[in-house]
Amino acid sequence: MEKSTVTIEIRQEVSVTLLWIVAGVVLVSAAFLLAPRSSELWTALNYAGVAAALYMIALLLYALRKPLAPKHRLWMGIAAIVVIALTAFTWVRMESQVRWQAETLMRIRGVIGRGIIQNEVSNIMLRTLDEFYRNGPHATETLADVFRKQNPGTALGSNLHKYQGGDASLQIIVTKMDPGLIEVVSQETFVPGRDPYFKNYHGQLGMIQEKYVLTSRGMTHVNEN
């Protein structure tokens, strides 16, 4: 049986190219895979981007060394620096832009949430006040009586929010129901407010919360978080 042997000759420039590629792939992949895990892709990508930039600088220093003609070194060096700078600029701007867009989305959600709270709670409270004064200044019914009549079955701790389309994120909780004073606290269950450490009525941390108090003198509102 005949055996044949194939000898592979690798030219120096090819082996050097291969070495550079292997080193670059290992360096960039390691930086990407060893970066701290997060729900964002940016962390891993930024680590790998820094590794890739360092690799590119080393590669440029190697590729543009003597005995290349000075004009070639100059032009390629300038072009490479411009491309690296533009890439870094676009990369950083893209990250800041999408983060801003993500924050804007949540801010819009917060505005929507506060708008719904204001609308729903003031509607409930002012309907009670309207009815209270419709009976005349010497009516025998208290504010709490009118409130209970308009919101049957309401007790302390009741949620007055009418669920629409499965939206269970908003809660309007009755926290005080004295004869002359009604207090409700309204909170969003997933939309962050100003203070991330604010303790919400139901024990969550940092969500939007507003308090409304109704007396015979009118309604007052406190933006708690």
Partner 1 sequence: MSTKTENHELSRRFLWQIGLVTLIVIAAVVYTNRYLTSERSSPVADTQTIMFPWLVAGRHTIENALYAFSGNGLQEPKIPELARALTALLVSSVICPTVFLLGWRWRRLTPLSGENPRPLSLSISFYGLCAAVTLYSSVAMIPVSYYGEVVRTSLRAAQAVQSNRDSVISEVNTIAINAFQYYILPTELGGGDRSYEEYIIPQGLSKTSAARYSVAPSRKEVMIRAASAPFEDCSVEVRLDSTGRLWQWTYSGRYR
Name residues contacting partner 1, limited to 138-167 (CB under 8 A). Answer: none
Cα–Cα separations (whole angstroms), residue 199 to 31, 191, 202, 209: 39, 13, 8, 9
Three-state secondary structure call for residue 190: strand
Query: Would you count residue 34 as binding partner 1 (CB under 8 A)?
Result: no
Query: Would you count residue 113 as binding partner 1 (CB under 8 A)?
Result: no
Closer to partner 1 by CB, 49 or 193: give it: 49
Phi, psi of 173 (to 5 degrees): -105, 130
Of 92-100, 142-150, 154-162, 202-210, which segment contacts partner 1 by CB under 8 A?
A: 92-100
Q: Which run of H or E residues covers position 166?
A: none
Closer to partner 1 by CB, 21 or 156: give it: 21
Query: Would you count residue 71 as binding partner 1 (CB under 8 A)?
Result: no
Q: Which run of H or E residues covers position 213?
A: strand 207-215
Of 61-69, 142-150, 152-160, 200-208, which segment contacts partner 1 by CB under 8 A?
A: 61-69
Rg (CA), the chain: 33
Query: Would you count residue 29 as binding partner 1 (CB under 8 A)?
Result: yes
Among 190, 194, 196, 222, binds partner 1 (CB under 8 A): 190
Burial label for 124, CB within 10 Å (0-12, 13-18, 19+), is: buried
Q: How far apart are CA 211 and CA 181, in angstroms?
A: 13
Closer to partner 1 by CB, 96 or 156: give it: 96
Query: Would you count residue 61 as binding partner 1 (CB under 8 A)?
Result: no
Q: Shortest distance, CB of residue 89 to partner 1, whole angstroms? A: 6
